[in-house]
Amino acid sequence: MKEVIKALNIVKYFGKTRILDNVSLEAHRGRIAVIMGPNGSGKSTLLKILALLIPPDDGRLEIDDSPIDFDNELEKRSLQKKIAYLPQRPPVLSASIFNNIYLPLRLRGASKEEAKKTTESILSMLRLKEYAKINAHRLSGGQKQLLAIGRTLALNPEILLFDEPTASLAPNTAEIVQDIVKRYVKEKNCYAVIVSHSITEAKKIADDLYVLVSGKIKERFSGQISEEEILKWI
């Protein structure tokens, strides 16, 4: 079995507009694939397809050599349990910061003890431990983002799909998130596709980088990333 997530010639229309035009992309275990591109280029749409939230109109998606059947709700739901999809501006629960992480873990079947231990370790990793009892709605935008990232990682996903995870974060908090994501992907040897707004971030975390412009992949880098080449498009 080849361990790769493959999007092959993905096409997506909204109405009559071709939003994604034959997009192909690969994400490999233990590597971070980053998607960059101007506003409206189709990055979020592509990520939603990878998260099995919307079907493509043409092309296919394969995970570990298995083609995904977007009509098979059962298969999609079972795969989605392995996926951590973080939308742009993710919502938080109107509950304590602690419960924002603890409750989803309990819902997934973790024991009280297990859920408490994981929640505490995630909160300390995010440097939110001292705020544990505060209602999540009282957090700043950046802290909410941090909490949402922690909540997804607590569920021990095998596939990270993050849409501009650091866009609302101060530079030092963004660095914490980048380090956490990088460490998680390397340690767990999992898949990651991250949409990014920042070249600095891409250079720091990307093993493979795709530049999406008007629904088409215009550049692809593996390893050495040329800032000049990216700036031509963004």
- To Mg ion, the closest distance from the beta carbon of 170 in angstroms equals 21
Residue type, 231: L
Residues 6+ apart with CB under 8 A from 194: 32, 33, 34, 35, 160, 161, 162, 165, 181, 205, 206
Comparison of 44 and 121: residue with beta carbon closer to Mg ion? 44
Sign of CA dihedral 204, 205, 208, 209: negative
Residue nearest Mg ion (C-beta atom)? 44
Provide the 8-state DSSP code for 127: T
Tell me the closest approach of the beta carbon of residue 67 to ligand ADP, in angstroms.
Answer: 23
Q: Which of residues 5-34 bind ligand ADP (CB under 6 A)?
A: 14, 19
Complex with ligand ADP: residue 40 or 67, whichever CB lies closer: 40
* Of positions 4, 6, 13, 44, contacts Mg ion by CB under 5 A: 44
Q: How far is CA 229 from CA 193, 199, 218, in A?
A: 21, 11, 10
Distance from the Cα of residue 37 to its chain's centroid: 16
List 28, 31, 34, 42, residue binding ligand ADP (CB under 6 A): 42
Contact between 44 and ligand ADP by CB under 6 A: the answer reads: yes
Determine which residue in the list 1, 16, 39, 171 makes contact with ligand ADP, applying CB under 6 A. Answer: 39
Residues of span 16-35 touching Mg ion by CB under 5 A: none
Bridge partner list, 193: 33, 161
**Positions that interact with Mg ion (CB under 5 A):** 43-44
